[in-house]
Amino acid sequence: MSSSSTVQASQGIETPSGHEPDEHGHFGRYGGRWVPEALVAALDELETAYEKARHDPEFLTELDRLHRDYTGRPSPLTDVPKLSQHAGGARILLKREDLNHTGSHKINNVLGQALLTKRMGKKRVIAETGAGQHGVATATACALLDLECVVYMGEVDTRRQALNVARMRLLGATVIPVKTGSRTLKDAINEALRDWVTNVDSTHYLLGTVAGPHPFPQLVRDFHRIIGLEAREQVLARCGRLPTAIAACVGGGSNAIGIFHAFLDDPGVRLVGFEPGGDGIETGRHGATLSAGSPGALHGAMSYLLQDEDGQTAESYSISAGLDYPGVGPEHSLLKDLGRAEYQPVTDAEAMDAFALLCRTEGIIPAIESAHAVAGALRLGKELGPDAVILVSLSGRGDKDVDTAAKWFGMIGSDESAESADGTAIAEGVVREPAGSFADAGSETEGIQA
């Protein structure tokens, strides 16, 4: 067995995981369908199409072909010995979803749902996006498969992820900045749901995470199970043992559930999700839904969410647009309650320290989302010691975050940042000597604030 993995993407959907929701889509008390009646028929249609497709050799073969020849699966497993020195000597292995076509794990789910869209005979796709990674992946699949693509993105996010807005538009998608509410991912989902209710006959809502009404949490998860299935085989081949712990970032939770799932029945493997701690849980400015939230219904599912005592959704905050969401997938809520997975907050500052460290020590620029998982792995390594093997879901690459990072580390002034969607401002801005934590990264990892 080589490190290149023999698992096919279709295995994650063809073979049930053994951890299925009940017939109404409930994971314990979570999940289900907390939706307007107007959407039920479309959800039933999707469920039927998925159940048919997952046993259709033609569908499975096409999915595998695309993931092999287009996505570039399997994604590699990378040893990062220099990073490990900063993690108490624990061996850290990165599952490189950042090397997939479009730059993140999101393509796993998007190609699957785009193929389902074709099979349902729908010609128009809508999607929400936070960091823009899911939007880019969706725009990509729609270009490939000749589908009309409309992406809803919070206005705040269109600014902090301007490069991805340009990418989506280059790919032929219509990007609609959402100006309601907190103008971030939550509000983008609201607008996508409003569009879907109106155009449900012609339109598939290509939801980008393991949240939303049944069957989304199940089918998005299944399309991402390939992450863990590959990684499990790769770690066993490389190390001759299972990992001690797995670290993944959790916003909605799609990359985390994708990598966790192959290890759910390995009780010796610790599953740890790292949530956006923002400025710190105690400040109230964070997006750590499982760490600080309570159960409720949002965006079609019962799950943990950040809410006030009247059940109004609280505003989340994170430096990472992709994690800046006050909800989370229902299966994570169940895994938390069962104690099978644990969830810890990572602050902006911790994530950015880890971001800098991975850049400097290993030559890998991670997405800021994924930097939360790297920070978590550093924390776990110090706790578990040099005998530990820690598998990290490096869910995306950081090209899109260069502007945010350059500002954080004081390399460009905030007045020189990319306000337009053309992504040119960084190149034109005055590049300064790195200040503060970035220059120090690699020699020091504890608590450096920019």
Question: What does the buried/exposed string (b/e) look like for 229-264 if buried means 16 or more CB atoms within 10 Å of the residue's CB?
Answer: bbbbbbbeebeeeebbbbbbbbbbbbbbbbbbbbbb
Say whether 186 is catalytic. Answer: no
Nearer to another protein, 312 or 443 (CB): 312
For CA atoms 256, 261, 265, 268, the dihedral sign is negative
* Least Å from the CB of residue 307 to another protein: 6
Element (H, E) at 289: helix 289-292
Q: Which residues bind another protein (CB under 8 A)?
A: 24, 32-42, 180-181, 186, 190, 193-194, 197-201, 294, 296-299, 302, 307, 309-313
* Least Å from the CB of residue 209 to another protein: 16
Q: Exactly one of 395, 400, 407, 417 is catalytic; name it.
A: 395
Q: Give the CA angle between residues 24, 27, 29 to the nearest 5°.
A: 90
* Least Å from the CB of residue 251 to another protein: 17
Residue whose token pair is 């081949």: 237
What are the angstrom distances between the C-alpha of 377 and each of 58, 324, 394?
39, 21, 11
Beta bridge partners of 301: 298
Nearer to another protein, 183 or 270 (CB): 183
Q: Fill in the DSSP letter of residue 36.
A: -
Q: Exactly one of 128, 233, 362, 369 is catalytic; name it.
A: 128
* Least Å from the CB of residue 331 to another protein: 17
287: its two tokens: 């997006």
Nearer to another protein, 23 or 446 (CB): 23
At CB < 8 A and 24+ separation, what contacts does 445-449 make? 445/86, 445/353, 445/354, 445/357, 445/378, 447/349, 447/350, 447/353, 448/349, 448/353, 449/349
* Least Å from the CB of residue 297 to another protein: 5
CA dist., res. 291 & res. 308, Å (int): 15
Nearer to another protein, 45 or 399 (CB): 45
* Least Å from the CB of residue 328 to another protein: 15
Q: Is 69 exposed, middle or buried (0-12, 13-18, 19+ CB in 10 A)?
A: exposed
Q: Exactly one of 10, 95, 106, 416 is catalytic; name it.
A: 106
Say whether 395 is catalytic. Answer: yes
Say whether 407 is catalytic. Answer: no
Nearer to another protein, 307 or 395 (CB): 307
Nearer to another protein, 324 or 401 (CB): 324
Catalytic residue ranges: 106, 128, 395
